[in-house]
Structure 1
Amino acid sequence: MNEQDAINALRTRHSEDVFVPKCKTGPSGHRGQMVQMDAWAMAKSWTTPTTWAYEVKVSRSDFASDTKWHKYLPYCNQFYFVCPAGLLDKADMPAEAGLIVITSGGKCYTKKKASHRQVAIPEDLFRYVLMWRSHIRKEGDNSREQRTEKWREWLAEQKDARDLGRKVSGHIARRYERDVTEVRLKQHALEKDLAALEDVKKFCDENGISLHWSRQHHLRNVKDAIEKALPPRLMNAIKTTHAALGDLVGQVSSKED
């Protein structure tokens, strides 16, 4: 386990709190007064406002040579050393310090609980966290109720989208069915017209009539057919009568003039 593994485990432990890794206690320019904690956390609570400071140790020599940890005490209600399991024991801890060990699975286990000290956290620490390590959000934006409400809104939007999809698809299906019915009716009417035209063509073909002839050609054919169908004597009588009627019409016209 390295230092970053320990900080990641602490971040998970404080997932509902304010968690600041590598937290300074004030402006960087105040070298004599400013210290940097491996991690600092604050509970999001008005009734039990608790803060924690953490110092990570990955070797016994580092722990034995540490002379700065006591400078963290004014900035927290509880102070903890953090180390891999088996490195340190609660008997090694100073009276003011607790001990958290990190298991091989990355879980935090409190081996010695730190005493809770009533201290007034210096304002410089809060200024540093607010100015350099904070992202301002809408109040309650990350609360459990807010997250639950967002999920409810998302689910409602998904339901509305599904309902709209069903309505649109139903409308399209009904429109498609109407259009298909209309096309089928028109197709049936065209098929009937085509059948009638086929009957006309068949009749013309059987009687030697071409559909491509002109009107004058059709009239001549009809006249020839009539002449062929009538007896010669009757045809001659019609022609004689037609000539006589023509002479009579001419005489009447000349008298009127």
Structure 2
Amino acid sequence: MASKTNIRADEIKRALAKRHTDDLFLTEVKTGQTWGNKELLKFDAFAIKRSWAKPRFTGYEVKVSRADFLNDQKWPGYLPHCHCFSFVCPKGLIQPEELTDEVGLIWYYPDSGALVTKRPAKYRLIEVPADLLYYILLSRIESDRHPFFSDRREMIESYLSNKEARLRIGQEFKGRLFDEISGLRKKVKELEDELRYGGNKEEQLAMIKDAAEKAGINVRYRWWTNEVVKMLENSIHPDILHAVERIKREADEIQKLAKVSANQEQPTMLLDTQR
């Protein structure tokens, strides 16, 4: 059996906090005043059920190390201060048969974050622990300075261990956010173009066809777009260009006929001269 796990105590305390959502839940709860108290103990977690009729104080000792569990000789001192007492550990670290019958055992499953009760703690009648409640009233009436951690060092260690995971998640989120922003910018540009040019592409094409028809271009002709391009390039109506080409061709024909006519008249003039 492994002597130590990679699971941190604060992870288990967070899971306990979720279990006691409706109760008063605190971590690192002392059993009395700190100064001059040699028998002072400190619960890793402590829950008080909000009930006058059936009061229940539940104490927890969190273990993430096998060696820490085996070397702990102080835990029986917790029993007079709570109605129910349980060890909480990563699954398999502690077995039920290693504990006395009155002590409960809860396993923490890191994959799901679930807490599974392997053996429920027996309810015991106790005198209300006045010193413990007085400590809570004086010292813990406000939120913990470092919730779920015994001290600032433990909190910093937790932060550093999660830093890489947070960076990875941040990069993935940043990539998805960038893609979404790019898509939104593209959509905004399309909408701006529609507003600026008077409609979408289909509407613009209909307007161009209408203008071309008014300019005398037959848009039912397959290559009507070429006529539009020619008109725009030359700033002259295509019909005018066709007329000019036709006149040019007719002029060429007239010139040819004139040459033929001149060649036919020359022999007649020679005959008249000889006579």
TM-score (norm 2): 0.48
TM alignment of 1:1-257, pairs within 5 A: 1-104=7-110, 105-135=112-142
Q: Report the Cα distance in structure 1 between the residues aligned to 2:115 and 2:54, rounded to whole angstroms.
A: 22
| 1-structure distance, mates of 2:27, 2:125 | 23
Shift of 1:102: 0.7
Secondary structure, counterpart of 2:77 in structure 1? helix
The one-character-per-residue Cα deviations of 1:124-176 (angstroms, maximum 9, x if unpaired) are 1111111111149xxxxxxxxxxxxxxxxxxxxxxxxxxxxxxxxxxxxxxxx
In structure 2, C-alpha distance between the alignment counterparts of 1:48 and 1:109, rounded to whole Å: 24
Q: Percent identity?
A: 39
Shift of 1:11: 0.8
Alpha-carbon distance in structure 2 between the residues aligned to 1:57 and 1:13: 18
State the alpha-carbon separation in 1 of the partners of residues 119 and 17 from structure 2: 19
1:6-33 CA-partner distances (Å, limit 9, x unpaired): 1111111111101110000111103312
Q: Secondary structure at the match of 2:28?
A: strand
**Residue in 2 aligned with 1:158?**
none
SS in 2 for 1:102: strand
1:61 is paired with a residue of what secondary structure? helix
User: Residue by residue, what CA displacement relative to the aligned partner does 1:46-67 show, whole Å, maximum 9, x if unpaired?
Assistant: 1210111110111221111110
**Secondary structure at the residue paired with 2:122?**
coil
Instruction: List 4+ stretches of structure 1 deviating above 4 A.
Output: none
SS at match of 1:73: helix
CA contact (8 A) 1:18 1:42 kept: yes
Q: Give the Cα separation in 2 of the matches to 1:114 and 1:31.
A: 28
CA displacement at 1:34 relative to structure 2: 1.3
For residues 17 and 30 of structure 1, the distance between their equivalents in structure 2, rounded to whole angstroms, comes to 31
SS at match of 2:101: coil
Aligned to 1:172: none
Q: Which amino acid aligns with 2:15?
A: A
Q: Indicate the RMSD between aligned Cα atoms, in angstroms.
A: 1.4
Distance 2:142 2:52 in 1: 20
Alpha-carbon separation, structure 1, partners of 2:99 and 2:115 = 17
Structure 2 CA distance for aligned equivalents of residues 106 and 75 of structure 1: 28
Unpaired runs of 5+ residues, structure 2, are: 1-6, 144-275
- Determine the C-alpha separation between the residues in 1 that align with 2:62 and 2:37: 21
- Could you state the TM-score of these two structures normalised by the residue count of structure 1? 0.51
- Aligned partners of 1:14, 1:58: CA distance in 2, in Å? 21
Instruction: Tell me by how many angstroms 1:71 deviates.
Output: 0.7
Structure 1: distance between partners of 2:49 and 2:36:
27
Larger Rg: 1
Once residues 38 and 30 of structure 1 are traced to their aligned partners in structure 2, the CA distance between those partners, rounded to angstroms, is 21
